[in-house]
Amino acid sequence: MNSKNSRLWLDLSVAFILVVLLIGGGMLIYQLNFDAMEVEVDNALAQRGQEISTQEGCIACHTVDGSLGVGPSWQGMIGRIETLDNGTSIVVDEVYFLESIRYAKRKMVDGYPNVMPSYMMEEEEIDALFAFASQLSQ
Ligand code: HEC
């Protein structure tokens, strides 16, 4: 290898390392941000629900602390009487919770944008999410 070539390789290697560091650093900050959002729960099912909420991206729209998000906060959700955009009201129970996830467009909470995608989740995952939201609704 001549010296021009090895210089090129050095440049490429440095560039590669910088890119890896940049992406890795970004991912670390992203992860730390989500970890900072973690709340204390007192059972394994609710903790699994919390993990699913983070992994599936629910957390992007449903906050854990009652603060305003794109959708209603997990905090205080379960058991609340919600007004729908057709003027009727509904109690957020297990059945409505599951329906809201699998068929997100069926019943719309009044005052929110129609942006939530439907998720074909296992019932076991929805149970965990419900346990998590319930913990934040006591
Ligand atoms: C892009 C934003 C967005 C994401 C991501 C999202 N949601 Fe929603 N969600 C909303 C909005 C907005 C509403 C209120 C309007 C409606 O009824 O669709 C809502 C409503 C709900 C409701 C009904 C709540 C109530 O108070 O009536 C449940 C349950 C729910 N989402 C669960 C989930 C779960 C579980 C996930 C992740 C698997 C998720 N959402 C991901 C935006 C989102």
Ligand 1 center to residue 44 CA distance, Å?
23
- Please give the Cα distance from 74 to 42 (Å, whole number): 16
Q: Could you tell me the residue ranges of all domains in the chain?
A: 1-37, 43-135
Identify which of 24, 136, 19, 18 has the alpha carbon closest to the alpha carbon of residue 74: 136
pLDDT band at 37 (very low <50, low <70, confident <90, very high): confident
> Which residue in 107, 117, 115 sits closest to 87, CA to CA?
107
Give the mean pLDDT of the chain.
Answer: 94
33 pLDDT above the threshold of 80? no
**Centre of ligand 1 from the C-alpha of residue 13, in Å:** 44
For the CA of 90, the closest atom of ligand 1 is 27
105-114: per-residue pLDDT in tens?
999 999 999 9
Ligand 1: residue whose CA is nearest its atom 32: 101
Cα–Cα distance for residue pair 112/106, rounded to 1 Å: 14
CATH class of the domain defined by 43-135? mainly alpha
Output b/e per residue, 40-68; b: 16+ Cβ within 10 A. ebeeebbbbbbebbbeeebbeebbbeeee
pTM over 0.85: no
Please tell me the predicted confidence (pLDDT) of residue 1: 60
Q: Which atom of ligand 1 is nearest to the CA of 77?
A: 26
Kindly state the average pLDDT of the residues 33-37. 68
